[in-house]
Amino acid sequence: MSGVSVSRMSPSKSKTSARITEERSQWKGGAVKPWDAGREFDIRGSTREENSLFFWPMQRSLPLTSLSSFALASISVLATVACSHTEALSPPAAAPVAPTMTHNRAEIPDKYKWDVTPIFPSWVAWEDGMKALDAKMGEFAALKGSLAQGPQAVLHAYRLLDEIGILQGKVEGYTELQRDTDTRNQDVSSRFQRVQALSARFGTATAWFTPELLTILQPTMERWIAQTPELGIYRFTILDNYRVQKHVLDEKGERLLSFSTRANDTPDTAFQELSTSDIKFPKVPLADGKEVTLTPGAYQAVLATNYNQADRAKSFEAYLRTYAANANTYAALYNGILQRDWFLAQARNYPSTLSAALDGNNIPSAVVDTLVTTTRQGTGPLQRYLRLRQRLLGLQTYHLYDGYVPIFKAEKHYPYEEAKQMVIASVAPLGADYQAKMKTLLAGGRVDVFENEGKRSGAYSAPIYGAGAFMLMNYNDTMDAVFTLAHEAGHSMHTVLAFQTQPYVTANYTIFVAEVASTMNERLMLKKLLESTSDPKERFVLVQHAVDEIVGTFYTQVLFANFELEAHRLAEQGQPITADVLKDIYGRLLHDYYGDAVTADELYRYTWARIPHFYNSPYYVYQYATCFASSAQLYKAMDTGTAAERAAVTARYLNLLKSGGSDYPMELLKKAGVDLTLRATVQAVVDQMDELVSLLETEAAKIK
């Protein structure tokens, strides 16, 4: 996918059910790599030390060109994707596998596994679905030239698009869910590739739709919609095409750009091959006499568990040097991404790559500018936290690779059944109806709970219209796993409420609001856990989890966005883009955000080379920070004021979830009480960080 998204414009941008995958690797380790080259998804880094977050963005309108519905939305906080850059700054707890479970999937009780029969009862039914999908796509292609016949012709086309999107989400979801429980199954993988190929053909075959739609004058279209009640549910989607009309090419131009899709993915594909298939990870001897091959997972494990700073330093130097050795190649690939984005922005008549990336969801550039400016001015609490870590760890110097090792170990275990009840209890402030729906969601068949051989790592929520939400977990009894469950359940409940309220065309919400629901549920879980304990050590670990979420989901993502802005502006200005140039930008930003709270290590200036997000989905991760700021403001309003005021805020929040993608995300948030163009909205997160660090200092003083 390109960095330019003009959503809801055409079948090649038509909405599909997509998925929100939130990859929280839960410290399982292993290489992070994209599922399928060419699909739009975001990775906020490559290991949890980057707080890497996979995201296949869920959008109101998703391209059928080269990517499919189900795969398009991943919201992940995994350690494969999980949120940050500061070498994680998220101290992991021990991650034992649930003691009563086995790695043999056949022996895991059915209540802890997905029941995919609501999607299709069998593979035979799936094959019938594929045939029906192919036929419907052919039927849609035959509609070319018919739209001007009148409102009924437009209605027929959009209804057919709905049928295609719903069916496409099901055929892909059925294959991908089963593939993710056993990635070794080549039969399922081949079926998934068939879906992708069918979707790619459809994208090119329907490039005519939006240009033809826009030959109908907007006043005429508005009159048709007013005269045809059945077109009412499509009003927002249809009229948004006119908003972006100046960025839509004629049929010949749209068809030409559709042919560039696979070429546009080449720099990203090359990055993935260089970073996975061709990379040779170094071996380092540690102080205990063991030699470790520093794959991403092994490197992460050293940082997270090894209390010998010299071992962490040695591992960091060897690992980052692996990427630095190929810095010129990485720079050339990233320059390819930057030039591609600028080409596509100009081709669609945008003044900048940022405006092109934001226009699909009608986001003003001021949102990103305010986010970056306010965060840069609010790094004081972040630096204060790092100094606290240095003091409590007893380190003479503090480096980013010291952000992983726990200050205090989380020794408490949380069996899944207990965690499930905790999640249900924690959402009581959202009302009895929400809580009842959460109980139903977690009752069985919707959550694939435990790790098994061949299962995809991390965690995600997959929305499939007409079948519901499906959650993947690799639950391991840790505190981090409890928060992951709460997080993914937040995504799934967003899906449940949106799907129950909205028709298909407006059911899917954008990534710009998706993380509001997930982080809200984490906040509610934190409150519940803090209320249940007075032990200062346990409270410290809980509060530190919240602090690390801010570091990873907010500060680090803004730093990433800051880097992307500066790099893209170089391309727009025709400036040279080399490894040295990129290294200098990144090094300067590290100093701007972390100041003298960390020792400046030269090799960290090469971090840009290994962040998959920069190559996979430019201008994407800023939305993690805006979502986090939105949920922070809503939570604060829910937790303060009179009972009537809290009830009103809660009602607005639930309406936000029920609204799906029925309006632009900024408008939906404003209706809920959040305005992201205001500095105060972003500053609230900085203030919260300051309060939590103070609480950490208080609890630390009580620990004997």
Query: What pLDDT score was predicted for residue 57?
Result: 27
| CA distances, 589 to each of 376, 404, 564, 609 (Å) | 9, 21, 11, 15
Rounded CA-CA distance 316/299 in Å is: 8
Q: Are 242 and 224 in contact (CB under 8 A)?
A: no
Counting residues of the chain whose pLDDT is more than 70, the rounded percentage is 86
Q: What is the pLDDT of residues 356-402, one digit of tens each?
A: 999 989 999 999 999 999 999 999 999 999 999 999 999 999 999 99
Of 7-11, 399-403, 442-446, 449-453, least confident by mean pLDDT is 7-11
Q: What is the pLDDT of residues 355-366, one digit of tens each?
A: 999 998 999 999
Rounded CA-CA distance 396/10 in Å is: 58
What's the chain's length in residues?
A: 704
Rounded CA-CA distance 18/176 in Å is: 11
In sequence order, what are the residues at sequence separation of 6 or more whose Cβ sits closer than 8 angstroms to the Cβ of residue 281?
293, 294, 295, 298, 299, 319, 322
Of 20-24, 253-257, 312-316, least confident by mean pLDDT is 20-24
Of 51-55, 223-227, 323-327, least confident by mean pLDDT is 51-55
Query: What pLDDT score was predicted for residue 399?
Result: 97
Which amino acids are annotated catalytic?
A: 488
Rounded CA-CA distance 185/197 in Å is: 19
Query: What pLDDT score was predicted for residue 102?
Result: 52
Query: What pLDDT score was predicted for residue 31?
Result: 22
Mean pLDDT of 83-107: 47
Mean pLDDT of 477-481: 90
Mean pLDDT of 158-163: 96
- Does the predicted model carry a pTM greater than 0.85? no
| CA distances, 193 to each of 59, 206, 237, 496, 593 (Å) | 22, 20, 29, 28, 43
Query: What pLDDT score was predicted for residue 70?
Result: 30
Query: What pLDDT score was predicted for residue 258?
Result: 83
- Candidates 275, 138, 273, 119; CA nearest to 198 is 138
Mean pLDDT of 471-491: 94
Helix (H) or strand (E) holding 371: helix 365-376
| CA distances, 434 to each of 261, 444, 658 (Å) | 41, 17, 11
**Is the pLDDT confidence value at 321 over 80?**
yes
**Is the pLDDT confidence value at 631 over 90?**
yes
Per-range mean pLDDT, top range of 73-77, 115-119, 293-297: 115-119
Band of residue 186 on the pLDDT scale cut at 50, 70, 90: confident
Task: Judge residue 84's burial from the number of C-beta atoms within 10 Å of its C-beta, 0-12 exposed, 13-18 middle, 19 or more buried.
Answer: buried
Mean pLDDT of 187-209: 85
Q: What is the pLDDT of residues 570-607, one digit of tens each?
A: 999 999 999 999 999 999 999 999 999 999 999 999 99
DSSP 273: I
| CA distances, 420 to each of 423, 432, 440, 460, 543 (Å) | 5, 17, 11, 16, 21
Band of residue 433 on the pLDDT scale cut at 50, 70, 90: very high
pLDDT: which is higher, 85 or 302? 302
Mean pLDDT of the chain: 85
Rounded CA-CA distance 476/24 in Å is: 12
Q: What is the pLDDT of residues 281-306, one digit of tens each?
A: 999 999 999 999 998 888 988 998 89
Band of residue 189 on the pLDDT scale cut at 50, 70, 90: confident
DSSP 95: -
Mean pLDDT of 689-703: 94
Mean pLDDT of 440-446: 96
